[in-house]
Structure 1
Amino acid sequence: MAQGLSSETAEDRARVLFVDDDPDVLTSAQVLLERNGFGFAVARSPAEAWSVLAAQPVDVILLDLNFARGATSGAEGFAWLAEIRAHDPEAVVVVVTGHSGVNVAVAAMKAGAADFVMKPWNNPRFLETVRAAAALRRRPRSALTATGSAQDAPALDEDLLILGDSAPMRRLRDLIARVAPTGAAVLLHGEAGTGKDLAARVIHARSGRPGELVRLDIRGLGEIAAGALDVAIGQARGGTLLLDEIADLSPAAEARLLALLEAAPDVRLISTTRRRAEGLAGLRDDLLARLNTVEAVLPPLAARGEDLELLLEHFIRLFARRYGRAPKPLDSSAIDLVKTQPPPGQVRGLRQFAERAVVLSDDDVLTAADFAVPTPGPSVAAAGAPDLNLARSERTIVEAALKRHGHNVTRAARELGLTRAALYRRMVKHGL
Structure 2
Amino acid sequence: MSILLVDDNPRIAESLAIAIDLAGHRLDVASGPEEGFSLLAAQRYDAILLDLNYAAGRTDGAEGLAMLERLLADDPGACIIVITAHSGIKLAVAAMQAGARDFVMKPWRNAELIAKIEVAARRRPVHPTTPEAAMAAEPARLLGESDAIERVRSLVRRIGPTMAGVVVTGPSGAGRGLIAAAIHAASTGSARAMVRIDLRDPLAWDRLDQGTPGATFLLRHPDRLDEVAQARLLDRLGPEDRFIAIADTPRAISPALARRIAMVEIAAPALVERPADIPLLARHFARIAAQRHGRPPPRFTPAAEALFAHALWPDEARGLAAAIERALLLGEDGVIDAALLTPAPVAGMAGT
Pair 1:315–1:258, CA change in 2 (3 A): same
Which residue identity does 1:258 align to in structure 2?
L
Deviation of 1:30 after TM superposition, in Å, equals 4.6
Structure 2: how far apart are the matches of 1:248 and 1:341? 31
Deviation of 1:166 after TM superposition, in Å, equals 0.4
Structure 2 residue aligned with 1:170:
150
Larger Rg: 1
Structure 1: how far apart are the matches of 2:153 and 2:112? 36
Q: Which has the higher helix share?
A: 1
**Structure 1 counterpart SS, 2:243:** strand
With 360-369 and 182-191 compared, the bigger mean Cα shift is at 360-369
Q: In the alignment, is the contact (CA less than 8 A) between 1:53 and 1:155 conserved in 2?
A: no
Structure 1 residue aligned with 2:270:
300
In structure 1, list runs of 5 or more residues that go unmatched: 1-13, 146-153, 375-432
Structure 1: how far apart are the matches of 2:256 and 2:22? 65
Structure 1: how far apart are the matches of 2:164 and 2:299? 43
1:52-86 CA distances to partner (integer Å, 9 max, x unpaired)?
A: 34566754322111234444443332332243345
Structure 1: how far apart are the matches of 2:135 and 2:217? 26
Pair 1:181–1:327, CA change in 2 (3 A): same
Residue 131 in structure 1 maps to residue 111 in structure 2: no
Which residue identity does 2:30 align to in structure 1?
A
Structure 2 residue aligned with 1:326:
296
1:195-242 CA distances to partner (integer Å, 9 max, x unpaired)?
A: 1111112212221326541222234x5xx5xx864x232123421122
Structure 1: how far apart are the matches of 2:137 and 2:317? 17
Which residue identity does 1:172 align to in structure 2?
V
Deviation of 1:88 after TM superposition, in Å, equals 4.8
Residue 185 in structure 1 maps to residue 169 in structure 2: no
Structure 2: how far apart are the matches of 1:373 and 1:178? 35
Q: In the alignment, is the contact (CA less than 8 A) between 1:55 and 1:322 conserved in 2?
A: no
In structure 2, list runs of 5 or more residues that go unmatched: 345-352
Structure 2 residue aligned with 1:213:
194
Q: In the alignment, is the contact (CA less than 8 A) between 1:312 and 1:351 conserved in 2?
A: yes
Aligned pairs for 1:208-247 (under 5 A) are 208-209=188-189, 211-219=192-200, 229=205, 231-236=206-211, 237-247=213-223
Q: In the alignment, is the contact (CA less than 8 A) between 2:96 and 2:102 conserved in 1?
A: yes
Residue 287 in structure 1 maps to residue 262 in structure 2: no
Q: In the alignment, is the contact (CA less than 8 A) between 1:211 and 1:238 conserved in 2?
A: no
Structure 2: how far apart are the matches of 1:293 and 1:348? 27
Pair 1:90–1:248, CA change in 2 (3 A): same
Deviation of 1:270 after TM superposition, in Å, equals 1.2
Q: In the alignment, is the contact (CA less than 8 A) between 2:165 and 2:259 conserved in 1?
A: no
Structure 2: how far apart are the matches of 1:211 and 1:36? 32
When the two chains are superposed, the root-mean-square deviation of aligned CA atoms in Å is 3.3
Structure 1 residue aligned with 2:348:
none
Residue 369 in structure 1 maps to residue 339 in structure 2: yes
Pair 1:364–1:243, CA change in 2 (3 A): closer
Match of 2:140 among 141, 146, 160: 160
**Structure 2 counterpart SS, 1:337:** helix
Q: Which has the higher strand share?
A: 2
Which residue identity does 1:130 align to in structure 2?
I
Which residue identity does 2:186 align to in structure 1?
R
Structure 2 residue aligned with 1:255:
231
Pair 1:325–1:88, CA change in 2 (3 A): farther
Q: Identical aligned pairs, as a percentage? A: 39
Structure 1: how far apart are the matches of 2:72 and 2:329? 32
Structure 1: how far apart are the matches of 2:322 and 2:196? 23
Structure 1: how far apart are the matches of 2:301 and 2:172? 28
Residue 357 in structure 1 maps to residue 323 in structure 2: no
Residue 77 in structure 1 maps to residue 64 in structure 2: yes
Structure 2: how far apart are the matches of 1:289 and 1:56? 34
Match of 1:107 among 94, 116, 124: 94
**Structure 1 counterpart SS, 2:335:** coil
- Using the size of structure 1 for normalisation, the TM-score is 0.69
Deviation of 1:335 after TM superposition, in Å, equals 1.9
- Using the size of structure 2 for normalisation, the TM-score is 0.82
